[in-house]
Chains A and B, each alone.
Chain A
Amino acid sequence: MKIDFTLNGAATTVDVTPDMPLLWVLRDVLDMKGTKFGCGASLCGACTVHVDGKATRTCRLPVQDVKGAKVTTIEGLSADGTHPVQIAWKEIDVPQCGYCQAGQMMTVSALLETNPSPSDGQINSAMNRNLCRCATYSRIRKAIHHSAELIAGDEAATASGSGAK
């Protein structure tokens, strides 16, 4: 069955069984390996992407459910690593093994869209379903605050007319 959706800004059509989870369509049909498989039961968050801007688990999400939707994966956050969340993750040196981090970053980038300056309590509730087996939680928290600063800095720069990123 043919299913159309927008993937990282590009019109995309796949011809797969409609109940195949989006995770496996991304990884094995479209060869985009950034989104990870961790539990297959929506428990760990390694497979998080944005569906119409919302952080969404994909390991049990039938691809037919994203028909016509806008899907953004870690590869679409920015291909060159210049999204503020990506910059913060590199500078703070968040990753240990790095396997869960795409999912963490997709949850964070969706959070910051609606709450540009989350408190520690808000971070706890937003991030509580993204597991990190290496337990880089101190660094993730620090990087979320740093991402918020980078975004605020960008906006301040834009507002003051300098425009430079």
Chain B
Amino acid sequence: MSDSTKGRLSRRNFLRVSALAGGGLLLSTRFELLGTASAATADAAGSLSTHVSISPDGLVHIVAQNPEIGQGVKTMLPMLIAEELDVAWEQVRVTQGDLDTDSFSGQFAGGSMATPMHWKPMRVAGATARAMLIGAAASRWGVSADSLTTDAGAVLHKATGRSLSYGELATEAAALAVPSADNLVLKTPQEFKILGVSKPGVDNSKIVTGQPLFGIDVTLPGMKYAVFAKSPVYGAKLKAVDLETVKQAAGVSHAFVVRGDTPLSGLQDGVAIVADSWWAAKSARDELVVEWDEGPTAAQSSAGFAEQAELLSKGEPTQVIKADGNVEVALGAAAKTVEAAYSYPFIAHAPLEPQNCTCHVTEGAVEIWAPSQTPERARDGVAELLGIDKSKVTLHLTRMGGGFGRRLYNDFVMESAQIAKQVGVPVKLLWTREDDMAHDLYRPGGFHYLKGGLDANGDLSAWYDHFVTFGEGKKFSASASMGLAEFPQGFVADYSLVASKMALGVPTGALRAPTSNAISFVIQSFMDELAHAGSKDPLEFRLQLLDKVIAAGTKTRLDAKRMRNVLLLVAEKSGWGKRQLARGSGMGVAFHFSHRGYFAEVVQATVSKRGDVAVDQIWVAGDVGNLIINPINAENQVQGAVLDGLAQALQQEITFEGGAAKQSNFHNFKLLRMAQAPPIEVHFLQSEGDPTGLGEPALPPVPPALCNAIFAATGQRVRSLPLANHDLSWT
């Protein structure tokens, strides 16, 4: 797709087709988000567009519009188009689109949203092109369009045995009127040839031969390399720096102070060092002498948060998030009550490709190569920062070495733009791993003080959660909140979720399955405690809770039937209740609904007498709608999400001292290793509704399922993470 083609699109056109120079078809579409296409709504926010071109040789070029962070979207979105276009996957060539808000929408990677947002519009785009190719064949042959079919990139007239390839028809098709999306008939799942059939990643060949794909790989003529030194304490102001010595260092061309006056997720005070190699810039920085005024955040620490939370737990909560019935009365009337305090730590995202961005600021224009999950926000932020119109900012998307939510925030893009503006030539800013650990927008820690009640039958009769979290006033720190309808709300008549908050000077943000990745541990562990307190099998206890709501027909945020079905499936696959395990080994179960996905998981773990935890196996049952679009990637995503959750539960935490993160690299912030990765069986229940996303929802059940397994194995209840902080030895 040449850049010149984009200029032909105007916001008014919801669909336009034009001939490509040299023959061929270019199709551009705009559709309403999550709805049917209509010209009237084409300019509404959330509309989207995609580009398909067919060259005379029959190759189908599809632009993948969304940022690829490893979730497989660069393969999946083109599959949707190719299916309805009715071409063979082997004919398809995929290229990465740039940020283009006139032509595309929903160009971001977050919230497991690409599948639900683009499921219909991308297929409509493919079906529209197919209808036009049929129209071209119909005129050429003088037959009705109804008498024609398609297969593998060709239009067929069965009555006469004639056929024409899409490549032969593309130029004529481009001259035809665009059919209304309302008249298009999309395939039924039974007719799918591409969707539901495994397609390895479209970039695999480039990845295995080491070709440049990632942000860090960008190279431009005359480019310089930058590092940016900031205080390890957020919000610190630069007090003094010796720039002259740095400027003398080998290879260094520039050293200057950048002042940050924007919020925590934006630009911070720092020292930019620019050199003719990154190594030279980094080496000069190692010798940098700089003084910071650290400000009030320096008084904050993880130990301080824990002390403060304990105090707040004893006082009145400052906010009621959700209150049903009368939990106090219900607890008083309960046959049995259980109380417990749970907590989880801050966690870093730590994508393996350190933050980087390449930027070239010239007179009146900016060009950026950004590994960003939110490229539109990155562009708009740069435009605002540099005081230029956003139409003057060109942003190229690069493949990313992991996202996990970290690259939803564009602080590193702002830094690179500010530095490049001063330097005048293209500059690649690259952080060190230590920069990344010190300057994350962390998954916030949190504290929960719970009370649960059971009736005489051992069924749940009351649930109270005093959530001590971060924020100020009514406002929660990012990803430090809980929803109004989080399970078990709606499953127990007397339910109360209340909160108290602590001020936080450290920025927080979304980490894969935000909020869910933390609260699932609390909810599903405490649920386990209540099951045991009522002498019930933990899986049975959960089933009974779901069954009660199903029988009553109560409306709850999660569909109790769908959850029940994945729970039953994981019970069957894991042999729940049927395995005889030696002491020290046990199975735990948990489920969680997030990002439209239903997941129930069973972990089998063995705790040695010394207290070492080994995870033997994990079984996963998931329901993300009526189709698994790309099974080979779906399994990979789920296994990855499960191991991500396992790493968090076992060994990950960021602790603060003097306002700064203590952990600095992978020796003290530990990623999972090969030997720790158990076999993971993934089973999908293909149920109802259009397919939804898979990047996130498999993660949250893992930490509680593991902790519940440890309880089954040893009788020790783990109420704070990570497990590495606990002595789990037994005799």
| CB-defined A-B contacts under 8 Å, sample of 12 | A24-B279, A36-B353, A37-B430, A40-B432, A44-B352, A79-B209, A93-B200, A93-B632, A96-B70, A97-B69, A101-B207, A102-B210
* Contact partners of A130 in chain B: CB under 8 A: 674
- B208: interface (CB < 8 Å): yes
**Chain A contact residues, CB within 8 Å of chain B:** 17, 20-21, 24, 28-29, 31-41, 43-44, 46, 73-75, 77-81, 85-86, 89-91, 93, 95-102, 105, 123-125, 127-141
**In the bound complex, how far is the Cα of B216 from the Cα of A100, in angstroms?**
13
* Contact partners of A41 in chain B: CB under 8 A: 433, 665-667
CB-based contact A38/B354 at 8 Å: yes
CB-based contact B402/A138 at 8 Å: no
CB-based contact A86/B640 at 8 Å: no
CB-based contact A139/B401 at 8 Å: no
- B56: interface (CB < 8 Å): no
Q: In the complex, what's the smallest C-beta–C-beta distance from B199 to chain A, in angstroms?
A: 8
CB-based contact B70/A134 at 8 Å: yes
CB-based contact A128/B675 at 8 Å: yes
* Contact partners of A29 in chain B: CB under 8 A: 277
**In the bound complex, how far is the Cα of B207 from the Cα of A81, in angstroms?**
9
Q: In the complex, what's the smallest C-beta–C-beta distance from B677 to chain A, in angstroms?
A: 4
CB-based contact A137/B643 at 8 Å: yes
- B423: interface (CB < 8 Å): no
Contact with A along B639-674 (1 / 0, CB 8 A): 110011001000000000000000001110001111
> Within the complex, which residue of B71, B212, B672, B674 is in contact with A96, where a contact is CB–CB below 8 Å?
B71
Query: Using a CB-CB cutoff of 8 Å, which residues 189-228 of chain B contact chain A?
Result: 198, 200-201, 203-205, 207-214, 216-217, 219, 225
* Contact partners of A24 in chain B: CB under 8 A: 277-279
Q: In the complex, what's the smallest C-beta–C-beta distance from A97 to chain B, in angstroms?
A: 3
CB-based contact B213/A44 at 8 Å: no
**In the bound complex, how far is the Cα of B673 from the Cα of A127, in angstroms?**
8
Query: Using a CB-CB cutoff of 8 Å, which residues 111-154 of chain B contact chain A?
Result: none
* Contact partners of B207 in chain A: CB under 8 A: 89, 95, 98, 101-102
Name the residue on B nearest A99 (C-beta): B401
Name the residue on A nearest B630 (C-beta): A93
- B72: interface (CB < 8 Å): yes
CB-based contact A43/B667 at 8 Å: yes
Q: Is the interface of A mostly helix, strand, loop or mixed?
A: loop
Q: In the complex, what's the smallest C-beta–C-beta distance from B519 to chain A, in angstroms?
A: 22
Contact with A along B4-37 (1 / 0, CB 8 A): 0000000000000000000000000000000000
* Contact partners of A98 in chain B: CB under 8 A: 70, 201, 203-204, 207, 213, 399, 401
CB-based contact A135/B643 at 8 Å: yes
**In the bound complex, how far is the Cα of B670 from the Cα of A43, in angstroms?**
10
CB-based contact A95/B219 at 8 Å: no
Name the residue on A nearest B208 (C-beta): A86
CB-based contact B208/A101 at 8 Å: yes
CB-based contact B208/A99 at 8 Å: no
**In the bound complex, how far is the Cα of B354 from the Cα of A98, in angstroms?**
14
> Within the complex, which residue of B72, B432, B679 is in contact with A138, where a contact is CB–CB below 8 Å?
B679
**Which among A24, A75, A91, A133 has the highest number of chain B CB atoms within 10 Å?**
A133
CB-based contact B677/A44 at 8 Å: no
Contact-residue bracket for chain B? 35 or more
CB-based contact B671/A131 at 8 Å: yes
Name the residue on B nearest A97 (C-beta): B70
**In the bound complex, how far is the Cα of B353 from the Cα of A46, in angstroms?**
9
* Contact partners of A43 in chain B: CB under 8 A: 665-667
* Contact partners of A77 in chain B: CB under 8 A: 209-210
* Contact partners of B70 in chain A: CB under 8 A: 95-99, 134
Q: In the complex, what's the smallest C-beta–C-beta distance from A75 to chain B, in angstroms?
A: 5
CB-based contact A78/B644 at 8 Å: no
**In the bound complex, how far is the Cα of B643 from the Cα of A35, in angstroms?**
25
CB-based contact B200/A91 at 8 Å: yes
Name the residue on A nearest B667 (C-beta): A43
- B350: interface (CB < 8 Å): yes
CB-based contact B212/A93 at 8 Å: no
**Known A95-B201, A97-B399, A134-B402: A37·B354 in contact at CB below 8 Å:** yes
- B636: interface (CB < 8 Å): yes
* Contact partners of B515 in chain A: CB under 8 A: none
Name the residue on A nearest B200 (C-beta): A93
A81-B208, A99-B353 known; 12 new pairs, CB 8 Å cut-off, are A36-B214, A38-B354, A79-B209, A91-B200, A93-B636, A96-B71, A96-B640, A97-B399, A133-B351, A135-B647, A136-B639, A141-B674
* Contact partners of B643 in chain A: CB under 8 A: 135, 137
**Which among A73, A97, A134, A141 has the highest number of chain B CB atoms within 10 Å?**
A97
Query: Using a CB-CB cutoff of 8 Å, which residues 333-353 of chain B contact chain A?
Result: 350-353
* Contact partners of B210 in chain A: CB under 8 A: 32-35, 73-75, 77, 102
Q: In the complex, what's the smallest C-beta–C-beta distance from B150 to chain A, in angstroms?
A: 28
Q: Is the interface of B mostly helix, strand, loop or mixed?
A: loop
Q: In the complex, what's the smallest C-beta–C-beta distance from A5 to chain B, in angstroms?
A: 17
- B250: interface (CB < 8 Å): yes
- B637: interface (CB < 8 Å): yes
* Contact partners of B216 in chain A: CB under 8 A: 33, 36-37
**In the bound complex, how far is the Cα of B448 from the Cα of A130, in angstroms?**
36
**In the bound complex, how far is the Cα of B294 from the Cα of A160, in angstroms?**
72
CB-based contact A105/B677 at 8 Å: no
Name the residue on A nearest B350 (C-beta): A133
CB-based contact A97/B675 at 8 Å: no
**Known A39-B666, A86-B209, A131-B671: A93·B279 in contact at CB below 8 Å:** no
Name the residue on A nearest B664 (C-beta): A41
**In the bound complex, how far is the Cα of B677 from the Cα of A122, in angstroms?**
14
- B385: interface (CB < 8 Å): no
Query: Using a CB-CB cutoff of 8 Å, which residues 343-387 of chain B contact chain A?
Result: 350-354
What 7 A-B pairs come out closest when comparing CB atoms? A34-B210, A97-B70, A99-B401, A135-B643, A74-B210, A137-B677, A96-B70
**In the bound complex, how far is the Cα of B352 from the Cα of A146, in angstroms?**
26
- B680: interface (CB < 8 Å): yes
* Contact partners of B677 in chain A: CB under 8 A: 135, 137-138, 141
CB-based contact A74/B672 at 8 Å: no
**Known A33-B210, A97-B400: A135·B640 in contact at CB below 8 Å:** yes
**Known A17-B250, A41-B665, A74-B209: A99·B352 in contact at CB below 8 Å:** yes
Name the residue on B nearest A144 (C-beta): B674
Q: In the complex, what's the smallest C-beta–C-beta distance from B113 to chain A, in angstroms?
A: 18
- B105: interface (CB < 8 Å): no
**In the bound complex, how far is the Cα of B350 from the Cα of A46, in angstroms?**
14
- B231: interface (CB < 8 Å): no
- B525: interface (CB < 8 Å): no
CB-based contact B639/A135 at 8 Å: yes
* Contact partners of A20 in chain B: CB under 8 A: 277, 279
Name the residue on A nearest B69 (C-beta): A97
> Within the complex, which residue of B277, B350, B354, B647 is in contact with A28, where a contact is CB–CB below 8 Å?
B277
**In the bound complex, how far is the Cα of B609 from the Cα of A35, in angstroms?**
42
Q: In the complex, what's the smallest C-beta–C-beta distance from A124 to chain B, in angstroms?
A: 4
* Contact partners of B692 in chain A: CB under 8 A: none
CB-based contact A93/B639 at 8 Å: no
CB-based contact A96/B72 at 8 Å: yes
**In the bound complex, how far is the Cα of B675 from the Cα of A129, in angstroms?**
10
- B633: interface (CB < 8 Å): yes
**In the bound complex, how far is the Cα of B632 from the Cα of A44, in angstroms?**
26
Name the residue on A nearest B645 (C-beta): A135
Name the residue on A nearest B223 (C-beta): A28
**In the bound complex, how far is the Cα of B283 from the Cα of A79, in angstroms?**
33
Name the residue on B nearest A28 (C-beta): B277
* Contact partners of B211 in chain A: CB under 8 A: 33-34
**In the bound complex, how far is the Cα of B210 from the Cα of A32, in angstroms?**
8
CB-based contact A95/B279 at 8 Å: no
Contact with A along B277-297 (1 / 0, CB 8 A): 111000000000000000000
> Within the complex, which residue of A34, A73, A131, A134 is in contact with B666, where a contact is CB–CB below 8 Å?
A131
Name the residue on A nearest B682 (C-beta): A138
Query: Using a CB-CB cutoff of 8 Å, which residues 424-455 of chain B contact chain A?
Result: 430, 432-434
**In the bound complex, how far is the Cα of B673 from the Cα of A140, in angstroms?**
12
